[in-house]
Structure 1
């Protein structure tokens, strides 16, 4: 073996023999110390040890040797904040799903309906149901009002004649009045839904025209 080869081999052996010792020294070396800085009220506190009461506080971390900023830790959220954050995240997911649904709906709208008349027919069933609900509620309100007026008139006549209103009659008046209040609320709700449907139909048609790239329907 040549002198050069022998020298190279000896050098490699020496290098290999020093690897375990170097690795062991690396394991035994202490971790780089940190300096923690956080706010306690209006006071700024910095220390090389983080007390238990500051574990959940927002803080900055610096190298104790160089003073350079090494990182930042956000404050731990409270239960209420975590719950609120979960609600916000869930709402973002719902908004994203709604937007994706809207896009798919628009694509389906373009591919399914050849004209506005085709699109209007989609709303025919809902319009018919709501119109029927409104008419039924109006009829019930008128009938209950008429029955209540009749009962009140009979009770008034008895009082004018110096006779007490019968308990059964008083209960009937109270019942009819309660039913009338309920039917009025239902009527108002159905009428509001019907108006909202008109708005929805018009907005859908306008969106359809925009997607189709056509002008406003002259019937609108």
Structure 2
């Protein structure tokens, strides 16, 4: 038993250093750019903690990781806002799909389903027409004011403050109206895509006898 105990102690003493050696993490080197030049070291100074860097295994000389620089507060806020916008868009798309499926089960015939989309198409078309008329009016008013301001400058007269304010206001309104028109045009494409999907879903759920399905496109 004494010999067995001594042998066990000897084995334990031999294994422990090996285990400690294996558990010790490999030493790393860091390389980063500082003042336009590449700097490497076995420790990161405080000035390089947020910098883009490459981590290298000191023993093998192989790169083990490449880390981007830390985001600035503004960039982080922008990334978070973009992530929220994407999440909101995904939630809105899912809600729209649920509404679409509810609509499909509501109507008794495909013709009724198409008529509901026809109403949306007409409303959207009228809104686009109104937006274009508003843009034409704003553009004409802006051109007239710019011409007046140009005449004043050509005659070496200062542009009246009221006229300058009107030019800026008309420009802002024109940009807003153009953005609204673009949104309405996207909505028009969305309505037609939704109608095509709704009709396809309707036909899957409620197959129509040959010759009875309405096939006229909305609008």
Does the 8 A contact of 1:60 with 1:71 survive in 2? yes
In structure 2, the residue matched to 1:117 is 112
Is 2:7 the partner of 1:14? Answer: yes
Does the 8 A contact of 1:58 with 1:75 survive in 2? yes
In structure 1, the residue matched to 2:50 is 56
Computing the radius of gyration from Cα coordinates, the structure with the larger value is 1
1:24-173 alignment, distance < 5 Å:
26=19, 31-115=25-109, 116-117=111-112, 120=115
The two structures have a TM-score, normalised by structure 2, of 0.50
Please report how far the alpha carbon of residue 21 of structure 1 lies from its aligned counterpart in structure 2 after TM superposition: 7.2
Is 2:181 the partner of 1:209? Answer: no
Does the 8 A contact of 1:209 with 1:216 survive in 2? no
What count of residue pairs does the alignment treat as equivalent?
A: 148
Aligned-residue RMSD, C-alpha: 4.3
1:37 is paired with a residue whose SS is: strand
The two structures have a TM-score, normalised by structure 1, of 0.50
Please report how far the alpha carbon of residue 117 of structure 1 lies from its aligned counterpart in structure 2 after TM superposition: 2.8
CA distance in 1 between partners of 2:66 and 2:190 (Å): 52
Q: Which runs of 5+ in 2 are unaligned?
A: 127-176, 204-212
Distance 1:206 1:73, change over 3 A: closer
Deviations 1:196-217 (A, max 9, x none): 8x95996354543343355533
1:60 is paired with a residue whose SS is: strand
Does the 8 A contact of 2:29 with 2:56 survive in 1? yes
Q: Which structure has more RCO (C-alpha within 8 Å, separation ≥ 6)?
A: 2
Deviations 1:117-155 (A, max 9, x none): 36746998xx99xx9xxxxxxxxxxxxxxxxxxxxxxxx
In structure 2, the residue matched to 1:160 is none
CA distance in 2 between partners of 1:110 and 1:201 (Å): 16
